[in-house]
Amino acid sequence: MSKIRKQSEYEKTFAYRFFRWLGGEKDIFVGNMEMQPQKEYVEEEATIEERMKDRQQAMAEVYDGSHNMELRFFKILYKIFSVVFCIAIMAVLILTVSYLPEVGDPNRPTSNIVTETYISDGLGDTGAVNIVTGMILSYRAFDTFGETNVLFIATCCVMIMLMVDEDKIKKNKDSNDRGFEPKNDVILQVIAKFLVPIVFLFGIYIILNGHLSPGGGFSGGAMIGAGMILYVAAFGFDKTEKFFNEHVYKVIKVTALLCYGCIVTYYFLTGANGLECLILLGEPGKILSGGITLPINIFVGSEVACTMYAFYALFRRGGL
C-alpha cells in the first residue's frame, strides 16, 4: 500500500522487528526506502498555447477532408477493410466450429476414460452426491485452490489502486462518500429489510448443501456478497462496520485460504501415499458427508463473499 508511515508508528509493527531480527540488529529499509507521493504535474501557459496552436494548424491543414484528397481516400479504404476484416474473422470462426465433433457423439475425443471414471467412481471416491462439486473440489482441488488465490490477488490489486489513506480522508472529506450515505431511500430500505435475510439464508443453504444439490462455494458466496452489497446500499457503511470491518475481512480471508491449502495438501498427501485419511466420507446423501467437499465449500464461500463485498466497498469509498 502506498502509505507513508511515521518512523515511530513503523517501529511498533511486526515487520520492523522481523526485519531487524532477519538482518541482525539494523533494518536496511528504515530511512532509505520510504516512498514519496508523486508531485502534481502543472503545465505552463506558454506550452498550452503552443499546443493549441499546433492543434488548430493540424486540424485546418491535415484533417480537412474537403481539401485533402489523400485523407478522404484513406477513410473510405479504412471502412472497407474493417468490414472485410470482420467478415473474414467471422468466417474463420464459423468454419472452425463446423469441423468440431457433434454434441453427444460417442466417438468424440472428449468422451474418454476420464469422463467415465468421474461418472462411475465419483460417488465412491468423493462421497458427494452432486458430481460436479465433488469433481471440482476433490479430484481437481488444486485447480480450485488456484482460482481462490486469483480472487485473493485480485482484491489485493484493487486495494493497492483504490485504497485511500486515512490521513487524507480526514483532510478532505470530498473523496469520502461516507458523509453522503445513506440517502435514506424508504422504498429501498423496506425492500432490503425483507430481502437481505432471505438472500443470506439462501446463500448459506447453497454453500452447506453444495455436495448434495446444485451449487457450491462460489455460487453461494457470490449470493451472500450480493446480499451484503444490497444491505450497504440501503443502510450505509456505518451499519456494516459494526460486524464487517477491515480487521474481520483480513482474518476471514487469510484463514479461509490457509485452511483450504492445508486441507487439500493433507488430502492429496494421504491419498498419494496410500495412507488412511482422517476426514471420513460419511454416508452419501446426509448433510455431514462428502469428505473434504463440505469444509472446502465453506472456505471458498466465505472467501468469495468477502471478495464481492470488498470490491464494492473499495469502488464506492476506497476503504473497507
Partner 1 sequence: MEIFNVILLAFLVICAVSVSFSKNLLNSVLIFMSYSLIMSIIWMLLESPDLAITEAAVGAGVTSILFFVTLKKIHALQSEQQEEERFDEQN
Nearer to partner 1, 178 or 316 (CB): 316
Instruction: Single out the residue of 114, 278, 144 nearest to residue 221, CA to CA.
Output: 144
The angle formed by the CA atoms of residues 80, 86 and 89, to the nearest 5 degrees, is 135
Q: Is 312 in the site for partner 1 (CB under 8 A)?
A: yes
Q: Which stretch binds partner 1 (CB under 8 A): 43-51, 274-282, 291-299, 308-316?
A: 308-316
Task: Enter the C-alpha cell of residue 95.
Answer: 468454419
**214 touching partner 1, by CB under 8 A:** yes
Alpha carbons 122 and 150: distance in angstroms, whole number: 27
Grouping H, G, I as helix, E, B as strand and the rest as coil, residue 290 is coil
Identified binder of partner 1 from the candidate list 5, 20, 178, 316, rule CB under 8 A: 316
Is 159 a binding residue for partner 1 by CB under 8 A? The answer is: no
Question: Which of 308, 310, 319, 320 contacts partner 1 by CB under 8 A?
Answer: 308
Report the alpha-carbon distance of residue 207 to residue 302 in Å, rounded.
Answer: 9
Closer CB to partner 1, 20 or 316, in the complex? 316
The only residue of 169, 195, 196, 222 in contact with partner 1, by rule CB under 8 A = 222
3-state DSSP of 164-195: CCHHHHHHCHHHCHHHHCCCCCHHHHHHHHHH
From candidates 30, 132, 159, 279, binder to partner 1 by CB under 8 A: 132
Q: How far is the CB of 219 from partner 1 (least distance, A)?
A: 4
Rounded to the nearest whole angstrom, what is the least distance from the CB of residue 180 to partner 1 in the complex?
Answer: 11
Q: What angle do CA 146, 152, 156 make, to 5 degrees?
A: 140
Stretch that binds partner 1, among 50-58, 88-96, 139-147, 311-319 (CB under 8 A): 311-319
DSSP, res 108: S
The burial of 259, by beta-carbon neighbours within 10 Å (0-12 exposed, 13-18 middle, 19 or more buried), is given as middle
The span of 68-76, 188-196, 216-224, 275-283 binding partner 1 (CB under 8 A) equals 216-224
Instruction: Please report whether residue 206 would count as binding partner 1 according to CB under 8 A.
Output: yes
Integer Cα distance of 32 and 29 in angstroms: 5
Rule CB under 8 A: say whether 223 interacts with partner 1.
yes
Closest approach of Cβ 320 to partner 1, in Å?
15
According to CB under 8 A, which one of 122, 127, 225, 319 is a site residue for partner 1? 225
Considering only CA atoms, which of 292, 294, 299, 302 is closest in space to residue 248? 302
DSSP, residue by residue, 278-295? SS----TTSSS-STTHHH
Residues that bind partner 1 in the complex, under the rule CB under 8 A: 130, 132-133, 206, 214-216, 218-219, 222-223, 225-226, 229, 308, 311-312, 315-316
